[in-house]
Amino acid sequence: MSDEIKSRIVDYLKEAIKPRELEINAQTELIESGIVDSLNIVNLVLLLEELSGTSIAFEELDLDDMVSVDAMVAKFFLDKELG
């Protein structure tokens, strides 16, 4: 399941940054590299909510959870599978 989720998030990111020719994978540093900005984070949170079927409160959001696709999946999907 997590590979499918990672793929959906990577596909979204590739579409969102289409004009730029950057390689994106599950380990790509998204914030530090400038791939993701504040608008992309909002859209990513909406995508994560859609994929997880749960609401994510922005005030509880930690940017460390958004640094890579792997980090997002670990925080918003694997924690739920393990818990």
Radius of gyration of the CA atoms of the chain, in A: 12
Taking alpha carbons only, the member of 59, 83, 56 closest to residue 72 is 56
Q: What is the rounded CA–CA span in Å between residue 3 and residue 22?
A: 21
- For the chain, domains (ranges, CATH) are 2-82 (1.10.1200.10)
Query: Residue 74's pLDDT band (boundaries 50, 70, 90)?
Result: very high
Does residue 51 have a pLDDT over 90? yes
Query: Residue 21's pLDDT band (boundaries 50, 70, 90)?
Result: confident
